[in-house]
Amino acid sequence: MSDEATTPEAILQRIRSLPGPKILTLVTEASEFTIDIDAEGVCGYGPGHESLFRAKLARALQEGGGLMIRQFLPMKVQRRMPNGKLLWIPEKKLYGLFLGQGALRPFSAAEVRHASCTDAATGAALAPEPGLTYASWEEEA
């Protein structure tokens, strides 16, 4: 991607262009940070949340990390919960980005699925989340 597309502002603008609410999880060697973006593009729940996210994203772009973007779609499906209760749950898309050395590299859909379905602590396989589509960021361009 071009340098312009790898600034925190450009990445955030592109995320905001995805319809619906999103949950972003930024993971670096030092920490994990999660923030919501509502359907109108508001980042976080208070003053300073967006600035904090931009600063953490800028650092991850230089030092390395990963960003997972969970997009909530307008479609809902009925799912039975472990307690037997039926709930209407939104369908979701999950994207991933590798960050580092001033650049980003989108995960392929297969890499997103592997990252999402592997326990980070043990490496054990996890069941895929129902209603979740593993997607490539590049396909959304």
Task: State the DSSP string of 81-105.
Answer: -TTS-EEEEEEEEEEEEEEETTEEE
- Token look-up 């979701």 returns 92
Residue 140's pLDDT is 63
β-bridge mates for residue 133, sequence order: 93
Answer yes or no: are the C-beta atoms of 96 and 67 closer than 8 Å: yes
CA distance 15 to 17: 5
CA dihedral 130, 128, 97, 1 (to 10 degrees): -80
Structure tokens at 24: 């972003």
Of 14, 20, 40, the residue nearest 104 (C-alpha): 14
Residue 2: per-residue pLDDT = 41
pLDDT at 1: 44
Q: Where are the domains of the chain?
A: 4-140
pLDDT of 139? 66
| pLDDT tens for the chain, residues 1 to 141 | 444 478 999 999 999 999 999 999 999 998 999 999 999 999 999 989 999 999 999 999 999 999 999 999 999 988 888 899 999 989 999 999 999 999 999 999 999 999 999 988 898 999 988 889 999 988 664
3-state secondary structure of 72: strand
Place of tokens 């923030």: 35
pLDDT for the residue numbered 61: 95
Nearest one of 93, 94, 98 to 26, comparing CA atoms: 98
Cβ pair 15, 39 in contact under 8 A? no
